[in-house]
Structure 1
Amino acid sequence: MKFRTCLTIALLALTALAAAWAAAAVFHVGENRKEKTSLLKTFTSRDEIVAFISAKIKSAENDPLIVKLIGSFRATVKTFAEAAIVFAAKALDYSTTNIQVEGVDEADIVKTDGRLIYAASSNGLISIVEAYPPEGMRVLSKISIDGQVIGLFIGEDRLIALVEEAVKITAPSESEREAIIAPLPTYFPWRTSVRVFDVSMPEKPVSVGEVTLEGRYVSSRMIDNYVYVVLTYLIPVWTENLTVLPKWAVNEGWREISPPNIYYSDSIEAPSSYTLIAAIDILDVKRSTVKSVLTGYASRIYMSRSNLYVTFPVLDRSLGGWGRTEVYRIAVNGLDIECKAKGEIQGEVLNQFSMDEHNGYFRAATTTFLYEPSSGTKMESNLYILNADNLEVVGKIEGLAPGERIYAARFMGDRCYLVTFKKVDPLFTIDVSDPSNPRVLGALKIPGYSDYLHPYDEDYLVGIGKEAVPAEEGDFAWYQGLKISLFNVSNVESPEEVAKIVIGDRGTDSPVLFDHHALLFDRGRSLLVIPILEAKIFEEDYPGEKPPWAYGRPIFQGAYVFHVSPKDGIKLIGRISHMENSGVDPMYEVKRALYINETLYTVSDGKIKANNLADLSAVSEVSLW
């Protein structure tokens, strides 16, 4: 009976953490709309951490708003607990991963050095393929990984694999049960590991080290020889006089994060998680640093060459919901990590492109969700400019596009471009050259919206999203096929959509809409390649007029190759598919595209295909299974 009770507790802890992740429950709470000045501190001992959390919990238990949120969380945990637990030589010219900041690499499932392609499949295999010259393309080696490969980095003859895995609970045998005299330890469902391989001989990759951290992966970056990883580690027990410190390991040598390496602020009311920031030397993983911030759930990050910005949603009491965002600036230099400043802005940050660092200032675009019992949720968008040194707001625009939320954002030097949407797509052009006085210069309203904005050059912008038609039933629109737009923003007061193309009907989709790494763009070649699942509505499915809410049937999946230029607009050059029959097989869904010299390579879980860039004629292909 004791064993079953202990095992049940462990399983409940596991499902609680899974539920918390799925629900994105955040227990980082601010007191009111008034900004508070709060210096960041570090702990001196484990006892101090226990006392701090216990005092905050005692105070929080008397707060009706926090209790309401905790009650909802526990209800979610109960629901999940009742469910079942499922346990080289460089080529002359080649494309690289689509990143945000030059010199700050981002992990992706496919990487190339101009001769080799490193591809991570969903089945846990990493294939190293000699891709150039394309006529002799062949698989050199494969690495089998336990867990899900989140992404890869390459550099200095090193292959770095970021792996997330669930921790399995192994029940003791009958003979071992009698020896259990204490409750089972708390098990954490997620661990993230950074595994480094020497690929100087790509035919025989060699594991040279591994750093493992308890926590759920948030994001990562690589600068020079250092990989930076951000994770969230949920505090497993919501009770006083008990805390668990995050653990991490180098080559399976486990240790706790020491209290002096954990930052905190007195302004936090209900600490719910640790945010871990790890710096790892890819040439020697034993040279690693891990710091932490005791706060709420880390949601988004932005990283420049010298600073990492991490955002945390915060409860706004006047709104009755998660209406604010705390921003932490963490200075990074090699293995040195130091939390330098904390600031606060209204609203929620959409993604990394909603943030930017420029000339000593941090800029962020947010959407505020106003909760009103009588009228429901109201939305409006904002833009904030903060002094990067102390993260104090120096300029702002609030109340932009009432009733709409931000779908896409892009900062480009002294300009900011925002896309909001409810029924039509306003593209806002904003002047941020004067940090103390940002100004809306112009807006373009067109059907549909963009989920992702990509700079073509200083005067043109590419938007990728969905076409839309206004709904007759209310104040909203039905999205349709995938839309690619080219915007002329040279006249910032009057932006113009100079070209567009719509692919498929409602149901057409692309990974670019939620993962910018899936986009291949090269302005010099006027080349744009996007993986697309195209859907089509057939007349026999909806005789007569096609209803705007109808979904089409999948008819094609593959890479769509476009020519894009201000002179020629957007032209479809051709399509490349990996499918081996008329259906859509997930194994052969094209996920990425890249080029080496004059060859275009497309990558799916099942194969890599090489096609001539000039006419898309087939050159070769290789199986990855």
Structure 2
Amino acid sequence: MSLMKSERSDIYLFAIFALLISAVLMISAIALISNMRPQNVILSSPFDPGHTSELPRFSSDRDMIKAFMNASAGIYECEDSAWNSWLPLSPILSAGDASKGSEAIGRQSGDFSTTNVQVEGVDEADIIKTDGKYVYIIAKDKIIIALAYPGRNAEILSSTNIAGFRPSEMFIDDDRLLVFGSSSVNIPEPLDVKAEKIVAGCPYCWHIPAVTSVKLYDISDRKDPQILRTFEIEGSYLTSRKIGNDVYFVVNTYPRIWPLYEGVEADNIIPLCREGSESFKPVADATDICYIPPVEAASFITLASVSMTDEDKDITKETIAGSGQNVYASENNLYITQSDCYGYYRYSPDGKTGEETTVAKFSLDGGKIKFIGSGRVKGHILNQFSMDEYNGYFRIATTIGEVWNSKTPSTNNVYVLDGNMNVVGELEDLAPGEKIYSARFMGKRCYMVTFKKVDPLFVIDLSDPKDPDVLGKLKIPGYSDYLHPYDENHIIGIGKDTVDAGESETSGRGLDFAWYQGVKMAIFDVSDVEHPKEMYKVVIGDRGTDSPVLTDHKAFLFDREKNLLVLPITVAEIQGERTSLNQYGDYVFQGAYVYDVSIKNGFTLRGKVTHYDDDEVFKKSGYYFYGDRSISRSLYIKDVLYTMSSSILQLNDLDTLKEIKQLKLD
């Protein structure tokens, strides 16, 4: 569960040693990549944002194999018997949506809370859901259904555990439950390499494939859920969205073998899928698979849809060559981004990084999926909130370059693309030397937080898509990792407080920076767009304090009408006098802070909820704390607050926070 305090000195030494080794390995890797960089990585001309109105398709099986071999050559270099490799970056797990300015700003349907999503009308899967009477939970590989309201009658109704299936998140729709997870499925080895000729110098590279499993349940009897449908596809689940009764999901697939062998066929690398107990078969023919030129990632993205109300409706699938990293969906369109995996090492003749992000756009209509076009912009994006759709335009915020690299210093940009994915407006070179920590598009504005030493909150005008402009900015200590609309003129920011490292630190390290401290919540007034201001702020704990909200917006519970804000948090506090600015506190609490929040009074702590019986567990912890009673989610039904950890669902009175009941999830 935790590290003992007596181990701290050993951990410090080990950590320092590990950092030194990591630094040496990274420097060696960079040097290696510099030597093996293929010639076509150099950009022959300045970057020119563009679009493709129609994705090309592979003309034949051999055309696909050749494209994948060329893509692999950009990552792998086979020379004599040596095989030097640098694996592409792992996909960035995130998701999101926003359309027609319909940002979710804390309105709840009925007298119960729903998952905190980016856009109204576009649901996002999560580990806990409620319909106002029942609560549905995924915990410790089990799907749990509980009668939740009235609180005094709360009880576990069913707990489903399927061998070989690990559920990750879900949707609900009346008497239907759709669960995403991974399956332990034996997919046959795709190629008998003993009978094939391996390209000289390259070893046989086959891996046990990841398999995404989608299970649709009939839960009309909550005590006895029944599986109606199972769909499995080779690859790793990235994210999903629910619009109406249809669920759209994205899967990344890396071929079971790298196509560096004579005799490899397209069917050996195309993702496999099956429904029910059928045999696995390729998700599509090679000639039905599109690609975003140039093919730089030897992998596949599959966008599919499944109906939650009609188990006989065909599952629609669209597969393209590429790697999905971030996803954004409005009620009508879905966008998948692919940032240049090798952007760090890709330079134009003037020495600047050629890092770019390609965005593929698909229309969504009652489960039907159609490719619309693709666009390309400079830099990479942070997460789903860096994207938005409004009045037919797509907006995206990016960072290019590296904060601490003087040769390729970071800058930040906002681009506007039209319905055909042409870049029609751009705002570049914002906050040089900083990077984006959070962004939120709200109608005709974009609010963006960058950071290196202080937190500039930019207010950006997008009323003219062809001429975006900075209206104003606010510089304050700290930064926000997550921005949430309170109303049209006020924003809640959740992040970290910071303190200037001081002249002795910055001069000694040759860097200009700040030390992050405790978790900070703030309310920003942006009614005067040229002079935004921080109205209220609360700092919780000292350095070491953390909240899942900083990396997962679904952990955030806010209801403006109830003046309610619930923040799951792990609190660290310095005992006694602070000895240095980068000193960590000792863990003293894990649970949820419950606030009354209003524009009139700011943040008022209503109380705290925890699943731990005493604080002994915190006293025994060291530099890392984790426990299966750590609260990660919260929701409410009428007058009851529900908090969830992986072991407990706890019910408290929403007003007094007096405990009503605990349900064990073990």
Q: Same fold (TM over 0.5)?
A: yes
**Kept in 1: contact 2:327–2:337 (CA 8 A):** yes
Percent identical pairs in the alignment equals 40
Aligned pair 1:380/2:402, yes or no? no
**Kept in 2: contact 1:529–1:559 (CA 8 A):** yes
Q: Tell me the distance in 1 between the aligned counterparts of 2:193 and 2:408.
A: 52
Give the AA of the match of 1:128: I
Q: Tell me the distance in 1 between the aligned counterparts of 2:216 and 2:319.
A: 23
Q: Tell me the distance in 2 between the aligned counterparts of 1:545 and 1:185.
A: 53
Q: Tell me the distance in 1 between the aligned counterparts of 2:496 and 2:71.
A: 47
Structure 1 residues 320, 395: CA separation in 2 closer, same or farther (over 3 Å shift)?
closer
**Kept in 2: contact 1:54–1:240 (CA 8 A):** no
Give the AA of the match of 2:491: L
The one of 366, 369, 386 equivalent to 1:337 is 369
Which residue is 2:488 aligned to? 458
Which residue is 2:54 aligned to? 40
Aligned pair 1:283/2:309, yes or no? yes
Which residue is 1:307 aligned to? 333
Q: Tell me the distance in 2 between the aligned counterparts of 1:553 and 1:340.
A: 53
Q: How far off its partner does 1:51 sit?
A: 2.2
1:217-269 Cα distance to aligned partner (Å, 9 max, x none): 2111111111111111113304265341111111132221223541124x314
Structure 1 residues 278, 258: CA separation in 2 closer, same or farther (over 3 Å shift)?
same
1:414-472 Cα distance to aligned partner (Å, 9 max, x none): 11100000000000001111101111011000000000000000111000000000112
Which residue is 1:483 aligned to? 520
Q: How does 1:381-460 map to 2 (within 5 A)?
A: 381-387=412-418, 389-460=419-490
Q: Tell me the distance in 2 between the aligned counterparts of 1:147 and 1:320.
A: 46
**Kept in 2: contact 1:169–1:187 (CA 8 A):** no
Q: Tell me the distance in 1 between the aligned counterparts of 2:42 and 2:180.
A: 33
The more displaced of 511-520 and 34-43 is 34-43
Structure 1 residues 59, 157: CA separation in 2 closer, same or farther (over 3 Å shift)?
closer
Q: Tell me the distance in 1 between the aligned counterparts of 2:648 and 2:71.
A: 57
The more displaced of 30-39 and 237-246 is 30-39
Q: Tell me the distance in 1 between the aligned counterparts of 2:51 and 2:653.
A: 59
The one of 595, 600, 612 equivalent to 2:641 is 600
The one of 394, 406, 417 equivalent to 1:362 is 394
Which residue is 1:51 aligned to? 63
Which residue is 1:516 aligned to? 553
The one of 556, 570, 589 equivalent to 1:556 is 589
Aligned pair 1:97/2:138, yes or no? no
The one of 250, 258, 266 equivalent to 1:237 is 258
Structure 1 residues 167, 317: CA separation in 2 closer, same or farther (over 3 Å shift)?
farther
Which residue is 1:176 aligned to? none
Q: Tell me the distance in 1 between the aligned counterparts of 2:42 and 2:362.
A: 21
Q: How far off its partner does 1:496 sit?
A: 0.6
Aligned pair 1:142/2:167, yes or no? no
Aligned pair 1:203/2:235, yes or no? no
Structure 1 residues 59, 350: CA separation in 2 closer, same or farther (over 3 Å shift)?
closer
Q: How far off its partner does 1:211 sit?
A: 1.1
Q: Tell me the distance in 2 between the aligned counterparts of 1:52 and 1:501.
A: 55
**Kept in 2: contact 1:594–1:602 (CA 8 A):** yes
Aligned pair 1:591/2:632, yes or no? yes
In structure 2, stretches of 5+ residues that fail to align are 1-36, 91-107, 197-203, 507-511, 619-625
Which residue is 2:13 aligned to? none
Q: How far off its partner does 1:156 sit?
A: 3.2
Give the AA of the match of 1:211: F
Structure 1 residues 470, 148: CA separation in 2 closer, same or farther (over 3 Å shift)?
farther
Which residue is 1:189 aligned to? 209
Which residue is 1:18 aligned to? none
**Kept in 2: contact 1:381–1:405 (CA 8 A):** yes
Q: Tell me the distance in 2 between the aligned counterparts of 1:42 and 1:377.
A: 33
Q: Tell me the distance in 2 between the aligned counterparts of 1:51 and 1:523.
A: 55
**Kept in 2: contact 1:467–1:479 (CA 8 A):** yes
**Kept in 2: contact 1:210–1:285 (CA 8 A):** no
Structure 1 residues 205, 73: CA separation in 2 closer, same or farther (over 3 Å shift)?
farther
Q: Tell me the distance in 1 between the aligned counterparts of 2:433 and 2:194.
A: 59
Aligned pair 1:609/2:650, yes or no? yes
1:452-502 Cα distance to aligned partner (Å, 9 max, x none): 000000111000000000112221110000000011111111111010101
Structure 1 residues 115, 73: CA separation in 2 closer, same or farther (over 3 Å shift)?
farther
Aligned pair 1:257/2:269, yes or no? no
Which residue is 1:116 aligned to? 134
**Kept in 2: contact 1:111–1:117 (CA 8 A):** yes
Q: How far off its partner does 1:580 sit?
A: 2.5
Structure 1 residues 538, 53: CA separation in 2 closer, same or farther (over 3 Å shift)?
same
1:87-137 Cα distance to aligned partner (Å, 9 max, x none): xxx99510000001111100000000000000111x201110100000111
1:50-84 Cα distance to aligned partner (Å, 9 max, x none): 324415635984x7x9859xx99954569x9xxxx
Structure 1 residues 165, 504: CA separation in 2 closer, same or farther (over 3 Å shift)?
farther
Structure 1 residues 353, 428: CA separation in 2 closer, same or farther (over 3 Å shift)?
same
Q: Tell me the distance in 2 between the aligned counterparts of 1:157 and 1:351.
A: 32
Q: How far off its partner does 1:288 sit?
A: 0.3
**Kept in 2: contact 1:250–1:285 (CA 8 A):** no
Q: Tell me the distance in 1 between the aligned counterparts of 2:536 and 2:480.
A: 14
The more displaced of 307-316 and 467-476 is 307-316
**Kept in 2: contact 1:29–1:269 (CA 8 A):** no
**Kept in 1: contact 2:51–2:373 (CA 8 A):** no
Q: Tell me the distance in 1 between the aligned counterparts of 2:627 and 2:187.
A: 30
Question: What is the SS of the residue equivalent to 1:456?
Answer: strand
Aligned alpha-carbon RMSD (Å): 3.1
Aligned pair 1:352/2:393, yes or no? no
The more displaced of 243-252 and 490-499 is 243-252
Question: What is the SS of the residue equivalent to 2:152?
Answer: helix
**Kept in 1: contact 2:135–2:146 (CA 8 A):** yes
Structure 1 residues 270, 325: CA separation in 2 closer, same or farther (over 3 Å shift)?
closer
Give the AA of the match of 1:132: Y
Structure 1 residues 182, 140: CA separation in 2 closer, same or farther (over 3 Å shift)?
farther
1:180-232 Cα distance to aligned partner (Å, 9 max, x none): 98689954431111111111110111111111111112111111111111111
Q: How many residues align?
A: 568
Which residue is 1:163 aligned to? 181
User: TM-score by structure 2 length?
Assistant: 0.80
Which gives a bigger RCO, structure 1 or 2 (Cα 8 Å, sep 6+)? Answer: 2
Task: Point out the structure with the larger strand share.
Answer: 1
Question: What is the SS of the residue equivalent to 1:512?
Answer: helix
Q: Tell me the distance in 2 between the aligned counterparts of 1:73 and 1:113.
A: 54
Give the AA of the match of 2:302: L
Question: What is the SS of the residue equivalent to 1:189?
Answer: coil
The more displaced of 530-539 and 507-516 is 530-539
The more displaced of 29-38 and 274-283 is 29-38
Give the AA of the match of 1:249: R
1:150-169 Cα distance to aligned partner (Å, 9 max, x none): 21100031111110246569
Q: Tell me the distance in 2 between the aligned counterparts of 1:271 and 1:528.
A: 42
**Kept in 2: contact 1:57–1:240 (CA 8 A):** no
**Kept in 1: contact 2:438–2:448 (CA 8 A):** yes
In structure 1, stretches of 5+ residues that fail to align are 1-25, 81-89, 172-178
Q: Tell me the distance in 2 between the aligned counterparts of 1:30 and 1:126.
A: 50
Q: Tell me the distance in 2 between the aligned counterparts of 1:612 and 1:606.
A: 20
**Kept in 2: contact 1:499–1:569 (CA 8 A):** yes
Aligned pair 1:579/2:631, yes or no? no
